[in-house]
Structure 1
Amino acid sequence: MHTTEQRAEIRRRFAAVDTSNVADALDALGRPDQGLAPSLAAVSGTRVAGWAYTIRGQMRPYAGTGDAAKMEACQGVGADEVTVWAGDGHGVCYFGELIALGLRERGCVGAVVDGGVRDLRWLRQHGFPVFAQYRTPVQSIGRWAVTGWQEPVYLRGATTAWVRVRPGDFVLADEDGGIVVPSDLVEEVLDAAERLTTTEVSIRAALADGLTLAECLARFGHV
């Protein structure tokens, strides 16, 4: 179990590496199916990095003017966490500006939504990073309800139908897409991704100095 300070430091380090290097590190460790579906893309900001706080829901009609379970789930979010939203929603938003502002007050650093979001203009203005499957103005109230949180959820995958995300896994998304690092591999993957990042910096410098790509690959190896 990591301390609060360790979690913050790990998040800071992950924010400095690319998903491509994290994916390569996971491949080397025999975990090739951790990438999220290409349809999951940035709608606000360009990068999300944080510890997974999972929330799931489903389409079901209900009465009333709010979703008490959603509000209760959001109250548990803490510092350096990313809310990961999953479920069988269609055409409705799971997440919007006001929830984002409430989460940010609790230290939340972004959201990954395997479904819909709205209020994009305001999310961007507030600088709250969100990756999502689609955008829609249609609210979830009366249509989609939270049914659980802080339990394993499944997001659509890049090389497999579904990627399992557990509370405490690490989620990283950038311009290339999203990837999930299992909690038991976080430090090993991070160390490897940082080494790959350092090698890439050296290769770029060598190319700028006039070496050919073939010479760089012979010197540094495949990246």
Structure 2
Amino acid sequence: MSDGSEMSATGAGRRAVRTRFLAVDTSNVADVLDERGLPHQALHPGIGPLSGERLAGWAYTIEEESVGYSGTGDPAKMRACGEIGQDEVSVWSGGGEGICYFGELIALGMAERGSVGALLDAGARDVRWLREHGFPVFARYRTPIQSIGRWRVTGWQRPVRLPGATTPWVQVRPCDFVLADADGALIVPAEQVEPVLTRAEELTEVEARIRTALGEGSTLAECLERFGHV
């Protein structure tokens, strides 16, 4: 792993980090990334939830290309899917249009290996069943059109690019952290995971105190004076 952090080096540590990230919002994490001089980590707003409300996990990257070919399958895709691990989110690049990169059976196979979701700069299908299984998928579109003969995997577990919200591209590396919710999706660089998470938890606690104070009758101006801006 590229950050060398003890808190994320082991399987138990990675799971603990993921659990903590599930308790914070992308908005707070984005604010922390701004504080740390990383203002361009959010993905394009066209990437949103097809199933599940929250997505959190360590990035397992897969890159592809749209190209016609003959045959009945994509062996490279099967190898890539078979190597994903615990608490990892598959991140699919490639900028596909109109075809499905990901569906129910791939999700089930990855879930058996401990994967906790998928993030796609492309499309998914079997949305009903993905929801039934409770497998989180954030994607750019939905489509019933299969990929066989139209698209194939060219590599995995190397840096990829996905379209950004404030910049044309956001780089995603293996073991960066993926967080997505109703506000959108963003990427936390692996070496920033520990400080970003700790600070986001602090902001989350401050927001909770402000909500409590507002509920007890304080004005917003009084709360901001007391707790600061968040």
The TM-score bracket by the shorter chain reads over 0.9
Specify the alignment match of 2:197 in structure 1.
190
Separation in 2, partners of 1:88, 1:35: 17
1:105 aligns with 2:112: yes
Decide which of 45, 70, 75 is 1:38's aligned counterpart: 45
Q: 2:25 maps to which residue?
A: 18
Alignment of 1:212-223 (within 5 A): 212-223=219-230
Distance in 1 separating the partners of 2:220 and 2:206: 13
1:143 aligns with 2:150: yes
Secondary structure, counterpart of 2:93 in structure 1:
strand
* CA deviation after TM superposition for structure 1 residue 88, in Å: 3.1
Q: 1:113 and 1:46 mapped to 2: Cα distance?
A: 15
- The one-letter code of the counterpart of 1:154 is R
Correspondence for 1:69: 76
**How much has 1:90 moved relative to structure 2?**
1.3
Q: How does 1:74-89 map to 2 (within 5 A)?
A: 74-89=81-96
Aligned residue among 206, 222, 225 for 1:199: 206
Name structure 2 gaps, 5 residues minimum.
none
Match of 1:29 in 2: 36
Q: Deviations over 1:155-210 (max 9, x none)?
A: 11111111000000000000100010000000000000000000000000000011
Query: Distance between the aligned counterparts of 1:58 and 1:119, measured in 2?
Result: 22
Q: Does 1:210 align with 2:217?
A: yes
Q: Which runs of 4+ in 1 moved over 4 A?
A: none
Deviation at 1:29, TM superposition (A): 0.2
1:150-169 equivalences under 5 Å are 150-169=157-176
TM superposition score normalised by structure 2 = 0.96
Supply the AA of the counterpart residue of 2:125. R
Structure 1 residue 78, shift from structure 2 partner:
0.3
Amino acid at match of 1:161: P
Output one character per residue of 1:58-114: Cα deviation in whole Å (capped at 9) or x when no partner. Answer: 111111111100000011100000000000321101000000000000000000011
Q: AA paired with 1:111? A: A
Q: Which residue of 2 aligns with 1:128?
A: 135
The SS at the match of 1:189 is: helix
Q: 2: distance between equivalents of 1:161 and 1:214?
A: 37
Q: Percent identity?
A: 64
Equivalent position of 2:102 in the other structure? 95
For the residues of structure 2 that align with 1:137 and 1:65, how far apart are their CA atoms? 17
Partners of 1:129 and 1:46 in 2: CA distance: 7
Which residue number in structure 1 is paired with residue 181 of structure 2?
174
Deviation at 1:9, TM superposition (A): 0.4
1:30 is matched by which residue type in structure 2?
A: G
Gaps of 5+ in 1: none
Partners of 1:82 and 1:188 in 2: CA distance: 21
Rounded to whole Å, the distance in 2 between the matches of 1:197 and 1:39 is 26
